[in-house]
Structures are given as structure tokens and as C-alpha cells.
Amino acid sequence: MALIGIDVGSGSARAGVFDDSGVLLGTASHPIALHRDGLRVEQSSDDIWSAICTCVRAAMGQSGVAAEDIAGIGIDATCSLVVLGPGGAPLPVGDSPARNIMVWMDHRALDQAERINAMGHRVLDYVGGRISPEMETPKMLWLKENAPEIYAGAWQFMDLTDFLTWRATGDLARSICTVTCKWTYLGHDGGWDADYFRRIGLGDLAEDGFARIGSRVVDAGAPLGQGLTAQAAADLGLRPGTPVGAGLIDAHAGGVGTVGAKGAGGAQANLAYVFGTSSCTMTSTAEPVFVPGVWGPYFSAMVPGLWLNEGGQSAAGAAIDQLIDFHPAAADARVAADADELSLPAWLAKRGEQMAAKETIAALVRGLHVVPEVLGNRAPHADPHSRAVIAGLGMERDEAHLVRLYLACLCGIGYGLRQIVLAQKQAGASVSRIVLSGGAGRSPLVRQLLADAAGLPLAVPETPEPVLLGSAILGAVAGGVHPNIPSGMEAMSRLSSVIEPDPAARAVHEERYAIFTALQSTARLAPRC
């Protein structure tokens, strides 16, 4: 008996085959195209489905598991808006007819988000007080105002996760995770607020019972339709009828794959931290906790029966890429990284470990400070206009200075994490440790630096693919292998190690955190002048 987890990130689709205890048997990935044009970022749903089919077949081949032995499938994806016309045909969201996805990081709806926030509404209480242009109602309002023929002709507006489960099963049910976290569905009330949609200019969606955005909402892991349709099964190389569970947003799948590990103290003790292109923090509480600037509280959006607060930064790994590309040594470093068959961040982490063997990280980053908010502040300030700051640049142009800049950027990401943890603690949502997942956090150096900068123990899951594992747990629930998500988490996820903050580094990080917040405050004022 085995399970498949499918994960769609910003730049690739991945698949993993696991046994029912959570052991990874095979994995594969395939790139997906990402098209950027200023604030616009677009993708193609057909391209993504094709990539999924490729990596599922490859992962199955690597695992040696037969199609008839797959007991369930779970899917997660970025919180991107998919627009479909009659019969499920893609409708363009920009100039290219093939691109029908407004990616989560697409910020073209900044004005619409600001107008929604200026109106005020009770649903905004459940997104930290301010809606983000990353969410779906500002994006749909942008379409209605700027591409009215596309908006009017849309049969369905779907979160990418829900599109993929529909493509797999033919079931239009939405996951409570996607619609609660990104669409203003009120999970605790069990419904949409029609008044909100009327007031912001999307009242037509309410008039048809919300059929175009989800009239039926189900729990994550709930079995959909009759399982895989014949066409989807043929595409994936699997058996028709294989159970498919309602999905999760990708970061939330990372949370499911980590925070409920056996012996970890339960989901409420652990903050899930997914560190990839962006970063996401997820904190579970028994009662709702309202944290200004932090999304939520969302009921049952990740762990059934618990409330979720979601923070993080719109750019984390992407911020590192953006900032180091400006450095004069970046081109030569990229050549060296390619020669070592490493990504540039992984190569910089390796070089950082070598340099840290001779002097401390504190010494390496001394005088160099980075606020890496190249795409605004998602939490706790909810300020999409904020921008990055680098302080302490000199005339250095060499590789060693590039490594120092990389390390300083990691510090800034860690201080942003600390800021969210402190904001939540002040509001009544404390955590004991951080549990890390995501491709940007694989280096021991990165893990130690995040623990030091955030000032909390950082736990590492045993599986190398915790996001894929989280989705496989959904498949286990859909297929009846485990009765619910909490039992699946305990049975299938485990922690391998815990990194404690270095006491010797505490004082310097306290000082650097104070500098970080001062620079951040200045950067938030700068766009006005």
C-alpha cells in the first residue's frame, strides 16, 4: 500500500510516493513556466497539469510501486487564481491566450486591495485586518475592471489546488483551506458573506449562490468525486477510481507534514515555517487569536478543529535571488555553482560554512544589514508597498563579500520570522519551537542561522520532503488509510533533530534585530516621499 503526494510550487511540480508510515519511496520534479512582467506574474494551467503527469509517472517508476497499490492521492499548490471558461477551457488573464493563472505573487491588484481595505468589513477581521493583493477577491475585481469580457465569460474562478483536484476527479468542491485563507470564506460560520462581495463590487458572484467560486466547501482530505477520472488516470499512469483528497495550499501541506509529528508536543506547540520562494508561518490555536497584520484566524484551514494564523514574507528565497544578482561577483559565483551542480544559494551556503569555520557568522556579517522585503511586508505590517534595504555596502566586489551579503540576507529573513513570532506572542499565540520545511532551508548553516536570528529552537523533519508528505497524508485520509489528518500526521511524520539557538550569538542578534526594525520602519516611509 502506498500514497502519492503532489506539490506545485512557483517554479516546479513535484510528486512523491510514500508508504503508509511516511517513508519516501520515490520522488521526481518537473519545471513549470513562470512569466513575469512588472507586477504581473502568470502561468498556464495546462502546462502545470502536464508537469504533474510527468513527475507522477517518474516518481512511480523510481518507487517501483504498482498503480494498483496506490491507496490515495493528495495535492497541494500555490494560492494562485485559475480562470476557466465554458467546459473548463483556459481564459487568459493577460496578453497571452495560454496563460490563465494570476500567480500568488502577482501584485497587479494593489489598487483594488487598497480600496477594499479602505471600505472596511467584518471579513477583514479574519485576514489580519487588511486584505493582500496576493488574495483572490482583489484579483477578481481587477479582472472585472480591466478585462470585463474575461470576467463575464468565466465559468469558474478557482484556486490552483482546487483546479487540480477538479482536473483529477471532475469534482468542483473547494477545499476549506483555499477558500478560507485566500477567498474570505468564513469557515467558522460555514459560508460566504454576500454583503462583502456586494460592497466591493463582486455582487454578481453572490447572485448565483457562489457557483463560480465554490458553492460546496469540504474539509482537506475529504474524498472527491469517484476518485481519478478515466482521463486523469490515463494522463497520470494510475488506475481510475484511485481516491483523491481535497487539497491544501502548499505551505499548509508543509505544516501538515511537520507540526503533528509523534512526540513533538502537538500542533499547537509548533510553528510551521515553510522556507522556499516565499516563506510562510502557520500557528495553530484552540481558540481564535486576532493578530493585526497576520492573516487569520482561520478555522480548520490546516488542522481540523483548530484555528490558524498565517504569516510569512512574500519573498524569501526569491529575495535572496534578487539581492545577490545585483552583486558584481554573482555571475562568476553562478558559474562555480553550476560546475558543482548546485543552485547559487546552495553554493553560497556551502561557501559560508567554509568561511564560518574560520570566523563566526557574527563577524562575517558585521556592519552589513538587509531588510529583504523586495515584494513588500506580508506580516506583521501587511504593507505591500514596503521595499528592501541594504545598509553597510562598501566597495567590495569579491566572492567573499557576496557570501557575506547572502548571510546578512538570511539574518534579515530570520529577523522577519522573529517579528512575526513576537507579534503573535503579544496577541496570545505563543509557540515553543519552529518546525522547518521547504527547499531553501536544507543547509545546516541556514538552519542554525534561522534559529539564532529568530531566538527559538528549530526542528527538522525526518523526511526530506515534508510538503509532499503533507499532501500524501491527505491521500491517506481520502483513501481510508488513516481516519483523519491528526492521526495521519502522528503516524507518518517524525522529527530528526532540533537545533538550539547559540547562546554566544544571542547578544549580537538582539542588536542586529533592533537595527533591522529601524531600517524597516524607514523603508516603509520611503515610498511616500
The three cell numbers of residue 35 are 512569466
Q: Quick check: bond before 297 cis, omega within 30?
A: yes
The answer to whether 525 and 383 are in contact (CB under 8 A) is no
Tens digit of each residue's pLDDT (9 = 90 or more) over 6-15: 999 999 999 9
Nearest alpha carbon to residue 378 among 175, 182, 246, 212: 182
Return the percentage of the chain with pLDDT > 70, whole number.
Answer: 100
Rounded distance, CA 281 to CA 326, Å? Answer: 28
Rounded distance, CA 91 to CA 112, Å? Answer: 21
Work out the average pLDDT over 104-130: 96
Question: Which residues, in sequence order, are CB contacts of 143 under 8 Å at separation 6+?
Answer: 83, 93, 150, 151, 154
Rounded distance, CA 283 to CA 309, Å? Answer: 5
Please report the beta strands in 236-294, taking only residues with DSSP state E, as ranges in sequence order: 248-249, 270-275, 279-285
Rounded distance, CA 71 to CA 63, Å? Answer: 15
Nearest alpha carbon to residue 520 among 372, 379, 326: 372
Res 276 pLDDT > 90: no
The answer to whether 468 and 433 are in contact (CB under 8 A) is no
Under the phi-then-psi rule, with left for phi > 0, alpha for psi from -120 to 50, and beta for the rest, what region is 183? alpha
The three cell numbers of residue 61 are 517508476
Amino acid of residue 254? G
Nearest alpha carbon to residue 370 among 513, 254, 507, 228: 513
Mean pLDDT of all residues in the chain?
Answer: 96
- Paired with 84 in beta bridges are 90, 156
Tens digit of each residue's pLDDT (9 = 90 or more) over 26-80: 999 999 999 999 999 999 999 999 999 999 999 999 999 999 999 999 999 999 9
Q: How confident is the model at residue 277 (pLDDT cuts 50, 70, 90)?
A: confident
Return the percentage of the chain with pLDDT > 90, whole number.
Answer: 95
Rounded distance, CA 308 to CA 195, Å? Answer: 24
Pairing outcome for strands 270-275 and 248-249? unpaired
Nearest alpha carbon to residue 68 among 228, 238, 223, 232: 238
**Between 526 and 175, where is the model more confident?**
175
**Quick one: pLDDT at residue 439?**
80
Q: How confident is the model at residue 262 (pLDDT cuts 50, 70, 90)?
A: confident
Q: How confident is the model at residue 270 (pLDDT cuts 50, 70, 90)?
A: very high
Rounded distance, CA 183 to CA 191, Å? Answer: 11
**Quick one: pLDDT at residue 526?**
79
Res 529 pLDDT > 80: no
Under the phi-then-psi rule, with left for phi > 0, alpha for psi from -120 to 50, and beta for the rest, what region is 169? alpha
Res 86 pLDDT > 80: yes
Rounded distance, CA 278 to CA 481, Å? Answer: 32
Q: How confident is the model at residue 528 (pLDDT cuts 50, 70, 90)?
A: confident
Q: How confident is the model at residue 263 (pLDDT cuts 50, 70, 90)?
A: confident
The three cell numbers of residue 49 are 497539469
Domains of the chain: 2-248 (3.30.420.40), 254-312+431-502 (3.30.420.40), 317-419+504-528 (1.20.58.2240)
- How far the first Cα of the chain sits from its last, in Å, is 61
The answer to whether 162 and 247 are in contact (CB under 8 A) is yes
Q: What angle do helix axes 444-454 and 506-525 make, rounded to 10 degrees? A: 80
3-state SS class at 288? coil
